[in-house]
Structure 1
Amino acid sequence: MNKQLYSYANTTVKKPDFPLAVKVVMIDLDGTLLDTAEDLALAANLMLQDLGRPALSVATIKSYIGKGIERLIKRALTGDLDGEPESQLLEKALPIYKKHYAENVHVNTKPFPGVKEGVAQLLQAGFHLACITNKSESFTLPLLQATGFHDYFEIILSGDSLPRRKPDPLPLTHICKHFNVQPHEAILFGDSLNDATAARAAGCHVFCVPYGYNEGHDVHELDCDAIVPSLVEAAQLIVKAVPNK
């Protein structure tokens, strides 16, 4: 493909030729690897029921996903993406939500179409695989175990694994250091502004899928190297980089 110019953060950079040569593939969980919206909504509505509040639609709660569970709870309580409920209400709601989500973490959750096939292609090609999510480790690990993906990842970073999480670049730079690669030798597959922002700040490549959550916004508005229909197509746009001599 011909190189084209596009703008990001007031700088002009070259859009890369495909396939991209990388060594590490990082994959987001909610909205990219797994469709978790129904179970997140189930837990939210059970929480709201316990608090004597009306239930919300799955579509509404889906638009609240992307900044971690605490932010999801704040949005469910206020009906506002940037809403801040009273501290006492939030303090009461948090353990209720966590209890319900722990009990229902894998009721309806399933891989998105093409995920199993795409991950299989990535493994066969010899890429290092990492999972980076803003979900708490107490939910991330059981969910990956239940869906059969846990052992495919050489490292899993949850929202509470490091001092900062996406959209901060720290999880991505941590992965690069773990595998002793340069940022341009790594790529993140994601579905949201969090993913695109973190990847650009870290200096990594980023592909986005259109089927995820992205807080209700169109994924085509994001600054990424490609919009890919599934992880199968994503795997076809990268090749294993040749080791440095």
Structure 2
Amino acid sequence: MSPSSLNSIDFDSTRFDAAIVDLDGTTIDTLGDFAVALNRMLEDLGLATLPRERIELMIGKGSEHLILSALQYVAAADGADAPAALVRAQAQFERGWERYQHHYLAINGQHAAVYPGVVEGLRALRDRGLKLACLTNKPTAFAKPLLAQKGLDGFFERVFGGDAFERKKPDPLPLLKTCEALGTQPARTLMIGDSSNDARAARAAGCPVLLVTYGYNHGEPVRAVDADGFVDSLAELAAPRR
């Protein structure tokens, strides 16, 4: 791998025993699913829908955060100040969460696509003997069917959703628990993600971190994030070392 793409990570498989891979924005482009489910939820609540560009900025911290952020944004757009928008969003959350789950489960994967190079990258990691786990803030009930539908489930020994542990990324707990489940040490477990959430969790857990440049990073430049390396495609992990 060239230093310009992987920076300080020299992808030598002997450095790692496992890799923890994010889902939304890293392996699968799920923005379409988020937009359809969220806007159907808003319609059920009699609220204005949001453009995909706005929804993309809210992705990454779990479905609960996405829903609350959307409800707050709509309330603010209606003229509520920040405290009032939060109160209104919290009052609408329970109904919104129920409707969101209903719609997401109905369309899960229909408006999503595996990113180019993901299959090649996962296959290269597996063929080099690394244990693989998928760790996402998406609820497990959404994540597992999506991976199966897209033919990626066979790559992962374990799949953990945002409800698997007491806390979600960027807290390090999910990474530490995933390392424990894989029987690996954090220092020898590579985190592969697309955002500052993944990088912050990895840094706190003691895992090296590699970020893709094409995912969802809350509207911020991903290359400004503190990470050990960046790739434009996971297929770069399958390229011969130079």
TM interval, short-chain normalised: 0.7 to 0.9
1:219 alignment counterpart: 222
> Which of 175, 183, 188 is the matching residue for 1:180?
183
Change (3 A) 1:85 1:228: farther
Relative to the length of structure 2, the TM-score reads 0.87
What is residue 79 of structure 2 aligned with on the other side? none
Aligned residues of 1:19 and 1:236 also touching (Cα < 8 A): no
What is aligned with 1:7? none
Between 1:161-170 and 1:72-81, the stretch displaced more is: 72-81
Secondary structure at 1:73's aligned position in 2?
helix
Contact 2:61 2:168 in 1 (8 A): no
Matches within 5 A, 1:54-133: 54-79=48-73, 84-86=86-88, 87-133=90-136
Query: Which structure shows the bigger proportion of residues in helix conformation?
Result: 2
Structure 1: 5+ residue stretches without partners: 4-14, 239-245
CA displacement, residues 150-184 of structure 1 (integer Å, 9 cap, x when unaligned): 12100111101111121111121122222332211
Aligned to 1:12: none
User: CA distance change for structure 1 residues 184 and 236 in 2, over 3 Å: closer, same or farther?
Assistant: farther
Q: What is the rounded CA distance, in whole Å, between the counterparts of 2:122 and 2:11 in structure 1?
A: 17
Alignment-mate amino acid for residue 26 of structure 1: I
Provide, for residues 23-70 of structure 1, a one-character-per-residue CA deviation record: whole Å limited to 9, x for no partner.
101100000010000111001111111112222111111111011111
Specify every segment of 5 or more residues in structure 2 that has no aligned partner in the other structure, as ranges. 77-81
Distance 1:76 1:103 in 2: 20
Is residue 168 of structure 1 aligned with residue 171 of structure 2?
yes
What does residue range 228-239 of structure 1 map to in structure 2 within 5 Å?
228-236=231-239
Q: Does 1:199 align with 2:207?
A: no
Say which structure is richer in strand: 1
1:19 aligns to what?
11
Is the Cα–Cα contact under 8 Å of residues 28 and 191 in structure 1 kept in the other structure? yes
RCO higher in structure (CA 8 A, sep ≥6): 2
- 8 Å contact from structure 2 (residues 125, 237) kept in 1: no
- Check if 1:38 corresponds to 2:32: yes
For 1:207 and 1:230, the matched residues in 2 are separated by 11
Identity of aligned residues (%): 41
Q: Which residue of 2 aligns with 1:189?
A: 192
1:88 Cα shift? 2.2
4+ residue segments displaced more than 6 Å: 80-83
